[in-house]
Amino acid sequence: MTRPGWFSALLGVCLAAALTFLTLPVVAIFVDSSPGDLIASLGEPGALDALWLSLRTTAAAIAIILLVGTPAAYLLATRSFRGKAAVVTLIELPLVLPPAVAGIALLAAVGPSGILGGAIEAAGIELSLTTAGVVVALTFVASPFYVRQAMASFAAVDRTLLDASRTLGASEAHGFLRVMIPLAMPGLAAGTALALGRALGEFGATLMFAGSFQGITQTVPLAIYDRFSTDFDSALALSAVLVAVSAAILLSVKLVRGGEALGVVAR
Amino acid sequence: MLLAAVVAGCGGGSGKSTRLVVSAASSMTEALESCAPKFGDAENADVRLSFAGSDELAAQIRQGAKVDVYAAANTRIPDELHADDLLSTPVEFATNEFVLAVPKDSDIGSVEDLTKDGTKLVIGSESVPIGTYTRETLAKLPPDQEEAILANVRSNEPDVKGIIGKLTQGAADAGFVYVTDVNPTGGDLKAITLAKDLEPNVTYGAGVVKQAEQPELAKKFVEDLTEGDCALALADAGFGRAP
């Protein structure tokens, strides 16, 4: 048992390096700002506007993602058809797109000079430089996180349960709502949390597509960037809030996933 | 991330032994990209250019970024850095013209037209020089006009590129920028000159960063900005000579 000694040491050193590298910047946010300053900076109207706007736009984006993404994910998980792999890949693509590409892509598609710009304007809808535009940007970047997770969760549900409900005379719609969604719930919740985290942190696509205006389009990440050069303390305070919220989201995912894992073991 | 961007710079890698890091205001992007390689070849140095809003670049220097030359779109920020002993005595090396930019087929012909309800105006954020110049200019107007124009502002962009992008994409009707930003849009935008009494005095200042790793080379680059290839490139891009 002497040979694994150096290897274990190497593993330990790498873990320590990774842990230090990943936690130090986050810890620094809190070390660099005293709790008093933090609360004082958050009392500033611009910061509160940004927090409130981030909450509203993220909630709207998540609502759209759940309403449209859940049935879409269910379809992808329960049906096979030609080109399904291509469809799944296309839906997942925004996951790996750089935010700047997402911003340009949204402008090219639904911006005023974009391919659908004329139609959107004719319908009396204004997206660029509006709160609705922020919701569009958040929905675009965050939805794949949810749809992917929801698909996997629906696929993992034991199909005999759905079939049983069908033989008892329930329609597929009824089975989807009463059997599939409750059984897939832990996975759906985890997917929601991931999408929530991504939407809250969105920066590049929002700035390029929706601009930056206090109370209208300046979400917390944009407010942090705006304060970076002039009011570093306030930028730190807002960052600390995002860290806390993100940590809470991650923790809730862990708890939900933990429950799911226990369920698997029990089964 | 931003510090990493500065360190990584924008210049391509080459086998040159010394590296000069230049942080310059976004509005000089085209001009400096054309002259910096010549300076690098002459001095056998790898010139790394980093472009962003002047305020942001200054904040990076205050946070300890390894930068040799700082060139800003005003003289106030270099003066402040000098006062805090972070920059050599700033040199005024160029001037720019502050204009109103509109899409080429726009009906807007003057600053007064911006008061019209529903005009979508995009300006620089208060922290960047272009935003400061914009607010100074609007403050010279009668208060009711200033108020009406500010009410039409739809976005406060972190740098000039954001304003130009919103205009060329048709997301906004008008924006305040430098004339040198309108020229490279290839005729998509047109510049409306402001009345002389409104126009702010836009002077660019540069200096050698106190923590510079190449102070001698940095000094030469600042001289090049005032009277070398970079001065010519700036003139070609539409900048004026500093008085």
Shortest CA distance from A106: residue in chain B: B169
> Do the two domains B2-95+203-241 and B98-193 of this chain adopt the same fold?
yes
Chain pair A-B, CB pairs under 8 angstroms: 64
Token output for A98 = 């750089």
Roughly what angle, to the nearest 10 degrees, separates helices B129-139 and B76-83? Answer: 120
Look at residues B222, B218, B217 and name the one whose alpha carbon lies nearest to residue B206: B222
Q: Using the beta-carbon criterion (under 8 Å), do B169 and A128 form an inter-chain contact?
A: yes
Q: Using the beta-carbon criterion (under 8 Å), do A211 and B59 form an inter-chain contact?
A: no
| Residue B24 and residue B218 in contact, taking contact as beta carbons nearer than 8 Å | no
pLDDT band of residue A171 (cuts 50, 70, 90) is: confident
Q: Mean pLDDT across the stretch A36-56?
A: 86
User: CB distance from A52 to chain B under 8 Å?
Assistant: no
Arch. (CATH architecture) of B98-193 = 3-Layer(aba) Sandwich (3.40)
pLDDT digits 0-9 by tens, B149-196: 999 999 999 988 899 999 999 999 999 999 999 988 888 999 999 999
Does B3 score more than 60 pLDDT? Answer: no
Integer Cα distance of A176 and A80 in angstroms: 17
Average pLDDT of chain B, as a whole number: 90
Integer Cα distance of A107 and B144 in angstroms: 34
Write down the pLDDT at residue B150: 96
Write down the pLDDT at residue A170: 81
More confident residue, B16 or B197: B197
DSSP character string of chain B:
-HHHHHHH-SSPP-S-SEEEEEEEEGGGHHHHHHHHHHHHHHHTEEEEEEEE-HHHHHHHHHTT---SEEEESSSHHHHHHHHTTSBPSPEEEEEE-EEEEEETT----SGGGGGSTT--EEEE-TTSHHHHHHHHHHHTS-HHHHHHHHHTEEEEESSHHHHHHHHHTTS-SEEEEEHHHHGGGTTSEEEEEPPTTT---EEEEEEEBTT-S-HHHHHHHHHHHHHSHHHHHHHHTTPEEP-
pLDDT digits 0-9 by tens, A97-109: 998 899 999 999 9
User: CB distance from A214 to chain B under 8 Å?
Assistant: yes
pLDDT digits 0-9 by tens, A175-221: 899 889 999 999 999 999 999 999 999 999 999 999 999 999 999 99
CA distance B3 to chain A (A): 12
Show residues of chain A in contact with B58, CB under 8 Å: 229
Show residues of chain B in contact with A212, CB under 8 Å: 125, 155-158
Shortest CA distance from B58: residue in chain A: A229
Three-state secondary structure call for residue A130: coil
Judge if ipTM > 0.85.
no
pLDDT digits 0-9 by tens, B79-88: 999 999 999 9
Show residues of chain A in contact with B154, CB under 8 Å: 129, 211, 213, 216
User: CB distance from B55 to chain A under 8 Å?
Assistant: yes
Shortest CA distance from B57: residue in chain A: A229
Phi then psi dihedrals of residue B88, to 5 deg: -65, 175
Task: Give the whole-number percent of chain A exceeding pLDDT 70.
Answer: 94
Q: Using the beta-carbon criterion (under 8 Å), do A113 and B169 form an inter-chain contact?
A: yes
Domain ranges of chain B: 2-95+203-241, 98-193
Average pLDDT of chain A, as a whole number: 89
Show residues of chain A in contact with B127, CB under 8 Å: 226, 229-230
Show residues of chain A in contact with B155, CB under 8 Å: 129, 211-213, 217
pLDDT band of residue B11 (cuts 50, 70, 90) is: very low
pLDDT digits 0-9 by tens, A252-262: 877 876 655 54
Show residues of chain B in contact with A216, CB under 8 Å: 154
User: CB distance from A216 to chain B under 8 Å?
Assistant: yes
Question: Per-residue b/e over B193-220, b at no fewer than 16 CB within 10 Å?
Answer: ebeeeeebebbbbbbbbeebebeebbbb
User: CB distance from A213 to chain B under 8 Å?
Assistant: yes
Integer Cα distance of B172 and B191 in angstroms: 15
What top-level class would CATH report for the domain B2-95+203-241?
Answer: alpha beta
- Looking at the DSSP bridge assignments, the partners of residue A69 are none
pLDDT band of residue A159 (cuts 50, 70, 90) is: confident
Shortest CA distance from B159: residue in chain A: A226
Q: Mean pLDDT across the stretch A48-70?
A: 96
**Which of A212, A214, A230 shows the shortest C-beta gap to B157?**
A212
Strands B98-103 and B174-178: antiparallel
Write down the pLDDT at residue B63: 86
User: CB distance from A153 to chain B under 8 Å?
Assistant: no
Q: Mean pLDDT across the stretch B103-112?
A: 94
**Which of B55, B154, B170 shows the shortest C-beta gap to A211?**
B154
Q: Mean pLDDT across the stretch B114-118?
A: 94
CA distance B60 to chain A (A): 8
User: CB distance from B103 to chain A under 8 Å?
Assistant: no
Phi then psi dihedrals of residue A104, to 5 deg: -65, -45
Write down the pLDDT at residue A258: 67
What's the CATH fold of domain A46-88+142-203+215-266?
MetI-like fold (1.10.3720)
Show residues of chain A in contact with B55, CB under 8 Å: 229-230
pLDDT band of residue B12 (cuts 50, 70, 90) is: very low
Q: Using the beta-carbon criterion (under 8 Å), do B158 and A214 form an inter-chain contact?
A: no
Does B215 score more than 70 pLDDT? Answer: yes
Write down the pLDDT at residue A3: 60
CA distance B141 to chain A (A): 23
State how far the alpha carbon of A192 is from the alpha carbons of A145, B21, B36, B164, in Å: 8, 44, 49, 36
Q: Mean pLDDT across the stretch A137-148?
A: 96
Look at residues A201, A191, A195 and name the one whose alpha carbon lies nearest to residue A222: A201
Write down the pLDDT at residue B198: 92
Instruction: Judge residue A230's burial from the number of C-beta atoms within 10 Å of its C-beta, 0-12 exposed, 13-18 middle, 19 or more buried.
Output: middle
